[in-house]
Structure 1
Amino acid sequence: MNSRFPSFSVLAVALAFGCFPSVEAAEYTQVNETASTISFTYNQFSSRVYGTFARFKASLDFDTANPSAGHATLAIQLDSIDAGSEDANTELQKPAWFDSEKYPEATFESTDVKSLGDNRYTITGKLTLRGVTREVAVPVHLKAENAIGIFDGQLTLKRSDFKIGEGEWGDTVVSDDINIRFRMVAPQR
């Protein structure tokens, strides 16, 4: 037996106890906001509506070798919404919806990161929208491609939890569930 190589049984034990990482460790500390996207969908009159936010700032400090020490922030400029029409964009800025004159940003700050294995994580944090703060848990999948990390995630928010669309819009014309998707692109450090 060649002593330079471990025996099969040593390799099997190492793999069984997770001594070898499944993915090469990498650090991500900067978000490329130009290559990143935030989108949403909801139902209105039984039709699916798609929209995006064009302006946001994001920060990231994430090491795949120590994900529990990770931290992320996001600040979305609510007046950068594109909900498919100028009328919708204007309506969403009004006090019944985002009230963006009083609350120009939606913010998220992580408080905990849990590794689920296979490059999947749950990032928990505080989301503040319209002056209301709620804890949310966001499932995220990390894909590494050519020294670029792509953090894909999605969550469903209830607009009523943040008092969005009150008054005449409080009925079921617009769904209470708003599905948020994001794709944050970060170069490997």
Structure 2
Amino acid sequence: MKHLSTFLLSTVLTMGVAMTASAVEYKTIQPEKSKVTFQYKQMGVAMDGRFNKFVAQLSFDPAKPAAAKADIEIDLASIDAGSSDADDEVVGKTWFNVKAFPKATFVAKHIKANGANQFDVTGVLTIKGKSQDIKFPLKLVAQGNAGVFTGGFVMRRADFAIGEGMWAKFDVVANDIQVNFQLSAISGK
């Protein structure tokens, strides 16, 4: 009987620890383990890039996605488009115009569960003073005390006047830009 009560006690304690572990609220982004990247075509050739500086605010409990808050602010001057010439070009007035519009922002407006650790996110993306509603799938993978959020969406540069003047056509640089992110977050502030 003593062995049975010890077994039951350890089972209840294990279940309690498991339930507590699943009730994690992710609040602190780990920038060194996070990234924002993009892919596009230039003259039909696939190109990759990334933003090296961004900050994100997060309050996300997977059990209560409707109560979640998430936003990200990207320093557009931190772009790495594959070469220093490209980097210098895209921060200028006809592309991102970072002197007037140094940041791009995304603010989540609604997050809902769409399966186990799968969510649909709707929010507002703002670049160069122009805002667009976007929607994308989000996946959460727990890794110890951290959660890794991954997602992506297609942004059309014409919607934000990215590439004006001679760059407004899409024969050299395509209109569709695939934006992807991986954000690692831990609980606590």
Flag whether TM exceeds 0.5 (same fold).
Answer: yes
Deviations 1:67-98 (A, max 9, x none): 11001010000000000100000000111100
Question: Relative to total residues, which structure has the larger helix share, 1 or 2?
Answer: 2
Deviations 1:136-159 (A, max 9, x none): 112110000111100000100000
Alignment length (residue pairs): 169
SS in 2 for 1:117: coil
1:36 aligns with 2:34: yes
SS in 2 for 1:51: strand
SS in 1 for 2:28: coil
- Pairing 1:108-187 to 2, within 5 Å after superposition: 108-171=106-169, 172-187=171-186
Q: 2:89 aligns with which of 80, 91, 95?
A: 91
Deviation of 1:188 (Å): 3.2
Deviation of 1:26 (Å): 2.0
Deviation of 1:25 (Å): 3.0
Deviation of 1:121 (Å): 0.6
Deviation of 1:163 (Å): 0.7
In structure 2, how many angstroms separate the alpha carbons of the residues matched to 1:84 and 1:140?
27
Match of 1:52, as an amino acid?
R
Partner in structure 2 of residue 8 of structure 1: none
In structure 1, how many angstroms separate the alpha carbons of the residues matched to 2:97 and 2:137?
28
Match of 1:32, as an amino acid?
Q
Unmatched 5+ stretches in structure 1? 6-20
Unmatched 5+ stretches in structure 2? 1-7, 9-18
In structure 1, how many angstroms separate the alpha carbons of the residues matched to 2:119 and 2:160?
25
RMSD of equivalent CA atoms: 1.5
Deviations 1:117-145 (A, max 9, x none): 12111111111100001111121100001
Match of 2:173, as an amino acid?
V
In structure 2, how many angstroms separate the alpha carbons of the residues matched to 1:61 and 1:131?
26
In structure 2, how many angstroms separate the alpha carbons of the residues matched to 1:162 and 1:82?
19
